[in-house]
Amino acid sequence: MLDLFMTTRTATCSCGKLSITCEGEPVRISICHCLACQRRTGSTYSAQARWPRASANIEGHSSEYVLTGDEGGRARFHFCPTCGATVYYVNEDMPDAIAVPIGAFADPSFPAPKVSVYELRKHAWVSVPEDAEHYD
């Protein structure tokens, strides 16, 4: 059902050939400090938002890389074959959900993360929103 009042956001890769449009507010917004996320993003933590798979519409071709996280969970990362930017991923134990790296929306007004995981691996200078749920 198309809801005319629903927020719609589009995330794209660097070159614009791969995009995902998500309808409605995300069901979860989190950051992860694990080493797998650090290496994958090239940053000091990952930030991502999750939607039900049915609320997301993908356009363009992607390549896939299956990554095993610090605790053994596997996720399928989809990135643009031209520019290499990851635009979405699916955790194998959560096939009905889709996660999008927040930076791909290029929207500084995107809502703040509510959950912070793997803080054991957090860089000392990184600060997390006070009201977020914290997990080691």
Q: Could you list the residues that contact Zn ion (CB under 5 A)? A: 13, 15, 17, 32, 34, 37, 80, 82-83
Task: Tell me the CA distances in angstroms from 78 to 3, 61, 125, one per residue in order.
Answer: 27, 9, 30
Q: How would you classify residue 86: left for phi > 0, otherwise alpha for psi between -120 and 50, otherwise beta?
A: beta
CB of 128 to Zn ion, least distance (A): 14
Rounded to an integer, what distance in angstroms lies between the CA atom of residue 54 and that of residue 133? 26
User: Least distance (Å) from Zn ion to the CB of residue 74?
Assistant: 12
Please, what is the minimum distance in Å from the beta carbon of residue 115 to Zn ion?
12
HEC profile for 12-74? ECCCCCCEEEEECCCCEEEEECCHHHHHHHCCCCEEEEEEEHHHEEEECCCEEEEEECCCCCE
Residue whose CB is less far from Zn ion, 17 or 114: 17
- With respect to Zn ion, which residue has the nearer C-beta, 17 or 24? 17
**Please, what is the minimum distance in Å from the beta carbon of residue 4 to Zn ion?**
30
CB of 34 or CB of 104, closer to Zn ion: 34
Query: Of 7 and 65, which has the nearer Cβ to Zn ion?
Result: 65
